[in-house]
Each structure stands twice: as structure tokens, then as C-alpha cells.
């Protein structure tokens, strides 16, 4: 196992305010890593430190084997990463192609290499239809594609994405997200992502949840779901009175809302045996899997960390 990112006891102080309070985690090379937290949890601060844009107050960070803030190693880190921020950074007056090629030249890529890399990013981000358009004239989704392409032009080993799909309509969001996932899978690139969309975090290899500058949960999406959520089944009875009697006879705890009775399951399979028994009584049912949304809501509702 090769580690792309190692963070140990990282702290960041803004004057009196401690935004990041001694966090430690690692990211395996070639994986999709989701860094979650409510607004103000310290995600952007952490990303900016890892990307060499902000000085840490203390702690150790290693990116692609280079030590942050060690002599001359920040330049090596910068060459080995690509970053997409929440705000757009490209020049509005230049075309998409001009912007991206200009960026590539700053890495000292040869003409041939630049052309090859442009072809590579264009394939994943589908730039064909926008590459001659001025960046300033593009829609939000088109800009995002160009932003990601710019971050990839030097073929970095790690791509940092700070809320890459925020503000996009659902269709565009899905398009951008598919491109990111495809890239990660096919090129074995490490993707470090912050997002407020839990369905994106649900496909990550590893998730870290930050709250008020501290890590409050981490693990695979499945492990987090097992720990913080449960599956349930919603039942609609033909006659609610009979349904309630049945639930009470079997001592099954339930909640009721608008004549929909929800019960907790130990596993989705438990639904099968219950449904066999309940079949004559019910008019419909739904088995509901615990989701990453539930995980996030549960963690955020827990006692505040000191």
C-alpha cells in the first residue's frame, strides 16, 4: 500500500481562532477520498494547507512522498498535484484551450507533451464543444469542466477538488461527477474531494468527517453506515388498527406518520420474514437502506466536540 497523503496532528490557527485542531489521516494512492464536514468545519483550510497555499501552524504533512515546508519540497508537491477550487480561476477573456495550454506551459511541458496531455484531458472532460469558446461566455457546468481540465493538464498524481459540483444543476452535476469517477478509476489517480453531496461521498473508498476542526468519524462508507445508520421498512396497512395490533403482538417498536408505519430492521433480509407474516395485512411496503445522508446527519447531531 502506497500512501499519497499523510497528515499528522495538523493544526491551523487564524489569530485567536483554531480552525484545524490536530487532525491525522492518510489517503491511499489511487483512491477516492471524501473529506466531509458542515460549513466552517475546516475543510478548505486543510485543502489549502495540503496544496501549499496556506501555512500550517503545526503538524506534519507528506504529499506524494514530499514533506510540506521542507527545503524546496513545496515546489515538488505543486508539480504532483492538481487543484480545483470552489471559485473559478481561469481568464475570462481567453478561450478554454488557450487557458489550459497556458497553464500547461507554466509546468514547462514540451509542445508534444502539451498536445498529448490536452488530448487526454479533453477526452475525459469532453472539451470538444467548448474549447474554442471564451471562458467568460461559458455556463457554470462548462466552466467546471474547463477548471478540472486545467487542473489536470500536467497529469498530476493527486487531484484536489473543493466542492466541484456545488451550484450545478443535477444533470450537469452528474456529468461532471461521472468524468471525475471515470478519471479516478481509469488512471489510478488519487482524488481528494470535499462535497456536501452525500451520494458522491457514498462511492468514496474512504471518508473522513470533520467537525469544528476535529475528525469525528472516519472509515469506508459501508463501515460508517453500519455504525451510524440502520435499514428500515415502511408499511402501509389495509386497516391501521389491525396493523398496530400485529406490531404490538410481536413487540415490534414503530413510528407512525400519516398512516405509514416505520420499523427498524437488523438487516434488509429481515424484511422478508416480516413481510411473509404481514402480507395479509399490508397494502404496500418499502425497504429503506441507511444512507450517507443519515450518517452525516447523525454525526452532526452528536454532542459537540470540545
Ligand X SMILES: Nc1ncnc2c1ncn2[C@@H]1O[C@H](COP(=O)(O)OP(=O)(O)OP(=O)(O)O)[C@@H](O)[C@H]1O
Query: In the complex, which residues of this chain contact ligand X (CB under 6 A)?
Result: 14, 17, 19, 37, 39-45
Q: How wide is the angle at C-alpha 286 spanned by C-alphas 243 and 268, nearest 5°? A: 100
Which lies closer to ligand X via its Cβ, residue 31 or residue 45?
45
Q: Are 29 and 180 spatial neighbours (Cβ–Cβ below 8 Å)?
A: no
State the minimum distance, in angstroms, from the CB of residue 68 to ligand X: 17
To ligand X, the closest distance from the beta carbon of 182 in angstroms equals: 26
Q: Are 11 and 58 in contact (CB under 8 A)?
A: yes
Q: Is the dihedral of CA 197, 198, 199, 202 positive or negative?
A: positive
Smallest distance from ligand X to CB 163, Å: 7
Residue 123 CB, shortest distance to ligand X, in Å, is 31
Instruction: Give the residue with the Cβ less far from ligand X, 14 or 137.
Output: 14
Q: What is the DSSP string of 180-245?
A: HHHHHHHH--EEEEE-S-HHHHTT-SEEEEEETTEEEEEE-HHHHHHHH--EEEEEEESSHHHHHH
Taking the least distance from each CB to ligand X, the nearer of 17 and 276 is 17
The length of the chain is 306
Residue (40 or 140) nearer to ligand X, CB:
40
Taking the least distance from each CB to ligand X, the nearer of 153 and 161 is 161
Q: Are strands 231-237 and 32-37 parallel, antiparallel or unpaired?
A: unpaired
User: What is the smallest separation between the CB atom of 45 and ligand X, expressed in angstroms?
Assistant: 3
Amino acid at each position: 500500500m502506497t500512501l499519497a497523503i499523510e497528515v499528522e496532528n495538523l493544526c491551523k490557527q487564524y489569530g485567536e481562532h483554531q480552525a484545524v485542531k490536530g487532525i491525522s489521516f492518510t489517503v491511499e494512492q489511487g483512491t477516492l477520498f471524501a473529506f466531509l464536514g458542515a460549513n466552517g468545519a475546516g475543510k478548505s483550510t486543510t485543502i489549502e494547507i495540503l496544496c501549499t497555499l496556506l501555512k500550517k501552524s503545526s503538524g506534519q504533512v507528506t504529499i506524494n512522498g514530499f514533506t510540506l515546508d521542507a527545503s524546496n519540497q513545496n515546489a515538488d508537491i505543486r508539480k504532483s498535484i492538481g487543484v480545483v477550487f470552489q471559485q473559478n480561476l481561469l481568464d475570462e477573456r481567453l478561450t478554454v484551450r488557450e487557458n489550459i495550454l497556458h497553464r500547461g506551459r507554466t509546468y514547462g511541458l514540451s509542445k508534444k507533451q502539451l498536445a498529448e496531455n490536452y488530448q487526454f484531458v479533453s477526452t475525459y472532460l469532453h472539451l470538444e464543444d467548448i474549447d474554442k469558446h471564451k471562458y467568460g461566455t461559458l455556463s457554470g457546468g462548462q466552466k467546471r469542466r474547463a477548471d478540472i481540465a486545467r487542473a489536470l493538464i500536467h497529469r498530476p498524481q493527486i487531484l484536489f477538488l473543493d466542492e466541484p459540483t456545488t451550484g450545478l444543476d443535477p444533470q450537469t452535476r452528474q456529468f461532471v461527477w461521472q468524468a471525475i469517477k471515470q478519471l479516478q478509476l481509469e488512471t489510478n489517480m488519487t482524488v481528494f474531494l470535499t462535497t456536501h453531496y452525500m451520494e458522491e461521498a457514498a462511492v468514496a473508498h474512504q471518508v473522513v468527517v470533520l467537525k469544528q476542526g476535529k475528525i469525528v468519524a472516519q472509515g469506508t462508507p459501508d463501515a460508517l453506515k453500519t455504525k451510524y445508520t440502520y435499514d428500515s421498512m415502511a408499511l402501509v396497512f389495509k386497516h391501521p388498527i389491525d396493523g398496530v395490533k400485529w406490531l404490538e403482538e410481536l413487540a415490534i417498536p414503530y413510528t407512525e406518520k400519516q398512516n405509514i408505519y416505520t420499523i427498524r430492521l437488523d438487516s434488509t433480509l429481515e424484511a422478508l420474514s416480516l413481510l411473509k407474516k404481514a402480507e395479509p395485512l399490508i397494502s404496500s411496503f418499502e425497504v429503506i437502506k441507511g444512507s450517507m445522508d443519515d450518517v452525516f446527519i447523525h454525526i452532526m447531531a452528536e454532542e459537540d466536540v470540545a
